[in-house]
Amino acid sequence: MNEHSEQSYRKLAAALLVLGAVLANIAFIGLGSVFNYPDILQEPAKEILRQFMQTKPR
């Protein structure tokens, strides 16, 4: 493997790690806006399931 391709792989790996972090944050924000996450975790399971069923598309 030459030096140029190794550098390209490192840049690709770095970009994929950054993309993964961004996507994880987007998912967290989505959960927070739709499902009251993480506060919902303090509720009883019945309440969590009730709220989930209300937000579920039909």
pLDDT digit string, tens, across residues 1-58 = 677 788 999 999 999 999 999 999 999 998 888 778 888 889 999 988 888 888 777 6
pLDDT, position 1: 61
Report how far residue 28's alpha carbon sits from residue 37's, in angstroms, rounded to the nearest whole number.
8
Provide the H-helix boundaries in 1-58.
Answer: 3-35, 45-55
- Position 36, amino acid: N
Cα(38)–Cα(27) distance, integer angstroms:
12
